[in-house]
Structure 1
Amino acid sequence: MDSFLIGAGISYTMASILCAISLAIPEWVVSTDLGDINLGLFVQCQQIFGREEQCRSTESPIAWTITTLLIIAGMMLVSIGAILVVLTRKQPSLIVYPKYFGVAAGILFCLAIVLFPAGFDMPVIGGTSFLLPSTAKVGMSYGLFCMAIACTMIGSALALGKMYYSIIIFR
């Protein structure tokens, strides 16, 4: 196994971990209008005037439900890509597949990141689709997910780079 594939495997693993963390932390949208409100894709947490934070599940907009499904599907694909990178050591014929799983995961992640702002028209946020009010901002989970997209694209480029590097060297 060469450095391109090791880098791709590490990038894919980091992307999978970052996606899992971003789904677990309910800080996709943070609002300071009526106390501190943190919205996850399915959970709303609120802390009013220094009291203990209370979290409850909410009915999410359909855009956020689809976003969650796209993220989970992308996580599965990028995890399979990482596993295939490890398996290429035993079966070199698998070397062509990790890049395809990474690119497919990247497409799903990009669809999710574009679809997510369509759910900003929730009453608790007070915005419109694709436009947050001035009292709300995207939170840490959104940033972690953006980093996961970057890791996926870097891993795909490294896996793809291995193929093109091999073609150039063998000519």
Structure 2
Amino acid sequence: MLVDSMIVVALITMYLACAHFASYQLGKKRILNQQKWGLNICCGKTDGGGVNADIVQHQDLPRFTLISSIYNLPFKTGEFDSVLCSHTIEHVDDPDAFYAELQRVGKQVTVVVPPLYDVAAVLNIWEHKWIFVTLRKQHHTLPRFVKLPFADFVQNRFGQRNHA
């Protein structure tokens, strides 16, 4: 019985690790490399080929712009042909307002979110505030989302984990 339980735990752990690797490492990299992005918003450590913008400068990137608010971007309306928002919108307080601002500055907005099969990312209450109800990573409209249970409590009590 103990051996059976250990096998089940090992299989679940392997699935979680493989799903997260496929989603975050392979899927995100494939989307980032699809094209040169006019604006790579909340870029982290990735160069999208155009303007890279974030609220924190994680490392030296070409054409980097430090921004003070994701809800009031310092760019003109329609300034960018393409905007990439990768693995960011699940962290923000107001996804609708953020997405509206992305639509204001970009002609085509691509949002990349953790898909439901990446359970480890979807249920990450230390970092994420929202669950996006989708099996796809890449979207050109804002997918349906719901509040991640207990995320506010954990993040208010211990702080939202970040990678700065």
1 or 2 for the larger relative contact order (CA 8 Å, sep ≥6)? 1
Bigger proportion of residues as helix: 1
Pick the structure with greater CA Rg: 1
